[in-house]
Amino acid sequence: MKQIARTSTPTRKLLSCALASCLLLGAAPVFAQSTGATIRGQVMADSAPAAQAQVTATNIATGLTRSVQSTANGGYSLAGLPPGTYKVDVNAGGKTTTQNITVAVGQTATVNLGVGGVAETAGGAATTLDAVQVTAQAVVETKTSEVATYVSQRQMEALPQASRNFLAFADTVPGMVFETRSNSTSQLKSGAQSANGVNVFIDGVGQKSYTLAGGISGQTQSQGNPFPQLAIGEYKVITSNYKAEYDQISSAAVTAVTKSGTNEFHGDFFWDKTGIRDWRESTPIEDKQGFKNPSGETQYGAAFGGPIVKDKLFFFVTYEGKEFERPRTVRTDDSVNGAALIPELAQYLVSTSVPFNEDLWFGKLTWQPGDAHLFELSTKRRSESEITDIGNGTNSVQSGKTNDNDSTRYDLRYQFNSLNWLNDAHLTYEDDTFNPRAMYLTNGQRYAAWTQGPNPSEIGTFIHLGGGADFQNKGQKGWGFQDDLTFMGWERHTIKMGVKFKSIDLNSFEQQPYNPQFRYDYYANLQAGNTSVADMVPYEVQFAPSYAGARNIESKNKQYGIYIQDDWDVTDKLQLNLGLRYDYETSSSFEDFVTPQGVVDALRGWANVNNPNVDYDYNDYISTGKNRKPFKDAWQPRLGFSYDLFNDQRHVIFGGVGRAYDRNVFDYIALERSKGAFPSFTYRFNTPNHPCDVGVGNCIAFDPSYYDRENLYALIAGPSRAGAEVDLINNDLKVPYSDQVSLGMRNIVQVGGQDWNTSAAVAYIESHDGILFTLGNRRADGSYHGPGASFGSSPWGDPLPGYGNIIKADNGVETRITQVLLSADKPFTSESPWGVTLAYTYSDAKENRGNAANSDEHYSFDYPNLDDVAFVPSVGISKHRFVATGIVEYWGLQFSAKLTVASPPGKDSLNCYFVDGCNNGYFETLYFSPSRQRQLDLAIQKEWDTGTDLKLRVRGDVFNVTNDRSYTNFNTNRGDYQNGVAVPNPNFGKRSNDEILANLPRTFKLSFGLHW
């Protein structure tokens, strides 16, 4: 193997680059479009451009071959290559040369080929390799305008990880956060937007969640993984300024490629064990109770692939399973001392564990009938079952729910390439379902603590018994077709264009509460002498009767997309990325909906909303079935540039501007229908401490016969909406979108004889038109707030006559974020067996939601709308976040580590202290130091080669080595005004619940594996 000397870089250039980096800040290597890689550049023969040179790339593992001819100035482009190692052969004027190049998912590798001479790549001069040598140089891509970072297979295999969710490694990318919440569910977020704005593309096909929140299909309220990690080859994360081919997205794009079979048989097996009681530290709950709950987590799986016909037909199949027993403790909240409860209630305060099981399958057939053709057929099957909503709160074992979460997807892919064209087509099918429901068909009992006296107020519900409230059946099912065409025959241009069509049926059935929920005032019953559960009298009941024939809330949606983009090498140094995308979606549920005539008549006859002081026109929400149209303005220009300062790909300034449209979550849109089909009703009982006038409004005398739900249903004469909530959606509902601007610099610098890839970028993103539900009730004078109030005092006591409260939906949520994104990495190579990644993010994020308890909050009732609401720092976002990883192999051992340090995330708070009470209060964002995150994870692995092509590995991981605790709950009440005097809250800033953490206690995981 011949090594070519690298040309030295003048000191003047280094000084210039150092200065530019300081000014612009610079990103680890980022990669360009889609999952297919591109090798492009210029062929030189005897220091002159070589026209009509034949350039051929052959995949060493599969034999796939692609060929092109160079243009008049020697330019060439090989597009749509599956990621991997290629032998690149050049033939120009009877002279030949060969070198091996490794390209990654979505990468555009610039490789200038010299016939009989030096071939230059992003790291300077490359290595000319023998045709049979499979060692190859991994080319670094710096000439792209996208703000993105690559996650390699080595990182996924080596770094400490508890979940085997491949998306967990995305938080090593500046600007990304992978959250694992206290209920063990997870989500991926970027910037100030909710997880809804994310999309994941696997082999070029989007995995968008259309019905449920969460961005990724199947990830809502799930402890499981969206895809088997054994099947993921590698992926990249683009946080802004993606190219025009990416759709249904407003924050971050993850594009991943799956593994395929090759000409050699290979297999993997793994078995992980973690979470065992003796292998972890106590949680705060267990510290209080004095013992650990039984627990255990087992993950296992296998993968196998190889040839069916050498160089022609391959297979790959994998399976991963999860079996969890997660500890849960049923406890009272802070409003009641559990030790003081009557025995009949105290017996439900127990420690237990809840199961979770997941089966993940993936299979793929790859057929290469000739150099111009490639077929792939892949399928994924995901099945989850669990029992949830028990403990870690006030829910008893009876009040839990079962949750089935299933997904089936198929993808038939066909690629055809000719001399200057590549066509990539997909035919897809998906069927995703989400079915949480109460475990038992029995009445729910919710015991609450109230103050006693003439003006009682609720302190809090301290325990839930009986049946739960949840019953849902939601999902998405349908087929799609997408086709991408790339043209490489225009000098200095690579043109890509595409179309997409999907026909998707969406379903969002929900009945809340499914079981009638009776509420009890615990102390009032004790004072009345009701000292047993059987004697206690409820003060309220809520129920939702089921009406035959009205169970399905469905929508037949049609999605259309078209785009064109041009990667234009204006000069050898300057590249422009010019793109335009357009998307259009029809939704039968929204467009064909007809507002019930009874609701229309009630609105027209209600003086409160026909007052000139009312700030909205209810006619904007009345649908006739013909006056709603699909959103038609989703034009998305995306423009970017990169400028190679010295034409050596080592120092590149990049930037871009663009707009990206997402889509509205159907679960929100469906409320207009579901609240009418399944209205919930609340009846009050005339009881001590909760008196009401029987026969007036919703007040009735309590009778034990009401414990029979059929007698409750009899209170409603047939399918009636009397007293039921009315949800109205603006007829001109728009689609959420974001505008993105970025500027930065990438550098490849030498430190200690090693190349380090650095990047610094500044990104600014504004998101607009997020959906928001507000209260549509108005007072008799048309006002929203009470006299003298500018906040709160919402008119809940003025419902729509004959109905309940009006909840109206509009576009209103906005976020703004400025981020500084810094990263550096030293790649792991066989010659230098250690690698490091460093990622720092500074975020200045603001939003206008005000009372957002989380980034997906879409209700606001303290203001009539958000028109004049001040922007406040976003909740759930740390201003500073640093993630470092390291991998090193020495003495036959592999060591790896991951360190995460983040400043406290913002917590929302209502301030009624610095003003004259809550009638003129306002929202603010607070930061509490005990919620900062500091977590160090370590892993060590030993692998033995048995000499029979079988390798055995044993590995140990330790998560949260220092057992650092990141608390989440704090008392955010500064105080209040009482009789005109500001009274501070002595508990302000104290932890309100020491038992909930945002991270794991120190935990050990043991793993065994085989590779052959």
- Domain total for the chain? 4
CA–CA gap between residue 462 and residue 443 (Å, rounded):
17
pLDDT bin (cut points 50, 70, 90) of residue 394 is confident
Confidence at residue 718, expressed as pLDDT on a 0 to 100 scale = 54
CA–CA gap between residue 553 and residue 408 (Å, rounded):
21
Are residues 216 and 340 located together in one domain of the fold? no
Instruction: State pTM to two decimals.
Output: 0.89
Confidence at residue 851, expressed as pLDDT on a 0 to 100 scale = 60
**What would the pLDDT profile of 145-197 be if each residue is shown by its tens digit?**
998 898 988 999 999 998 899 999 999 999 999 988 767 788 899 999 989 99
Taking each continuous run of H as one helix and of E as one strand, the counts in the chain are 10, 55
CA–CA gap between residue 424 and residue 81 (Å, rounded):
11
Confidence at residue 127, expressed as pLDDT on a 0 to 100 scale = 36
pLDDT bin (cut points 50, 70, 90) of residue 392 is low
One-letter-per-residue 3-state SS of 955-998: EEEEECCCCCCCEEEECCCCEEEECCEEEECCCCCCEEEEEEEC
Are residues 343 and 417 located together in one domain of the fold? yes
User: What single string gives the DSSP state of each residue in 661-726?
Assistant: E----HHHHTHHHHHHHS--EEEEE-BTTB---TTSTTEE---GGGGSHHHHHTTS-SS--TT--E
Range 517-533 average pLDDT: 91
CA–CA gap between residue 97 and residue 116 (Å, rounded):
6
Confidence at residue 253, expressed as pLDDT on a 0 to 100 scale = 94
pLDDT bin (cut points 50, 70, 90) of residue 3 is very low
> Residue 119 domain-assigned?
yes
> Residue 681 domain-assigned?
no
C-alpha 637 chain-centroid distance: 24
Are residues 73 and 182 located together in one domain of the fold? no
**Whether the predicted pLDDT of 558 surpasses 50:** yes
> Residue 325 domain-assigned?
yes
The type of residue at 98 is T
> Residue 541 domain-assigned?
no
Are residues 278 and 405 located together in one domain of the fold? yes
Confidence at residue 895, expressed as pLDDT on a 0 to 100 scale = 97
Are residues 974 and 987 located together in one domain of the fold? yes
Query: Mean pLDDT, the chain, as a whole number?
Result: 87
Are residues 350 and 285 located together in one domain of the fold? yes
Token pair 């299933």 is at which residue?
A: 406
Are residues 370 and 276 located together in one domain of the fold? yes
Q: What's the chain's length in residues?
A: 1012
**What would the pLDDT profile of 894-943 be if each residue is shown by its tens digit?**
999 999 999 999 888 888 777 767 778 788 888 988 889 999 999 999 99
Do 93 and 115 form a contact (C-beta atoms < 8 A)?
yes
Are residues 227 and 329 located together in one domain of the fold? no
Q: DSSP secondary-structure letter at 859?
A: B
> Residue 314 domain-assigned?
yes
Confidence at residue 717, expressed as pLDDT on a 0 to 100 scale = 64
Instruction: Work out the number of other CB atoms within 10 angstroms of the CB of residue 830.
Output: 7
Lowest mean pLDDT among 143-147, 311-315, 354-358: 143-147
**Whether the predicted pLDDT of 108 surpasses 60:** yes
Of the candidates 642, 842, 656, the residue with the CA atom closest to the CA atom of residue 739: 656
Of 437, 471, 495, the domain-final residue:
437
CA–CA gap between residue 812 and residue 867 (Å, rounded):
8
Could you tell me which residue, 106 or 707, shows the higher pLDDT? 707
Range 846-855 average pLDDT: 71
What's the CATH code of the domain at 64? 2.60.40.10
Of 421, 437, 453, the domain-final residue:
437
CA angle 700, 701, 706 (to 5 degrees): 90
Are residues 293 and 426 located together in one domain of the fold? yes
Confidence at residue 30, expressed as pLDDT on a 0 to 100 scale = 31
Are residues 969 and 947 located together in one domain of the fold? yes
**Whether the predicted pLDDT of 5 surpasses 60:** no
**What would the pLDDT profile of 459-506 be if each residue is shown by its tens digit?**
888 899 999 999 889 999 999 999 999 998 888 999 999 999 999 999
**What would the pLDDT profile of 65-81 be if each residue is shown by its tens digit?**
888 888 888 888 888 88
Phi, psi (deg, nearest 5) at residue 609 = -100, 0
CA–CA gap between residue 884 and residue 920 (Å, rounded):
45
> Residue 48 domain-assigned?
yes
What's the CATH code of the domain at 176? 2.170.130.10
Q: DSSP secondary-structure letter at 931?
A: G
> Residue 398 domain-assigned?
yes
Instruction: Work out the number of other CB atoms within 10 angstroms of the CB of residue 48.
Output: 9
CA–CA gap between residue 887 and residue 898 (Å, rounded):
9
Confidence at residue 697, expressed as pLDDT on a 0 to 100 scale = 76
Are residues 205 and 126 located together in one domain of the fold? no
**Whether the predicted pLDDT of 720 surpasses 60:** no
23 contacts: CB under 8 Å, gap ≥ 6: none
**Whether the predicted pLDDT of 26 surpasses 50:** no
Of 380, 411, 437, the domain-final residue:
437
What share of the chain has pLDDT > 90, as a percent?
A: 53
pLDDT bin (cut points 50, 70, 90) of residue 18 is very low
Are residues 276 and 399 located together in one domain of the fold? yes
The type of residue at 656 is G
Q: Tell me if residue 936 falls in helix, strand or coil.
A: strand
Lowest mean pLDDT among 561-575, 633-647, 856-870: 856-870
Q: Report CA-CA distances (Å) from 1007 to 184, 300, 521.
A: 21, 9, 51
CA–CA gap between residue 707 and residue 155 (Å, rounded):
57
What is the domain extent for residue 411?
A: 260-437
The type of residue at 75 is G
> Residue 324 domain-assigned?
yes
Range 825-832 average pLDDT: 88
Of the candidates 315, 324, 208, 224, the residue with the CA atom closest to the CA atom of residue 262: 315
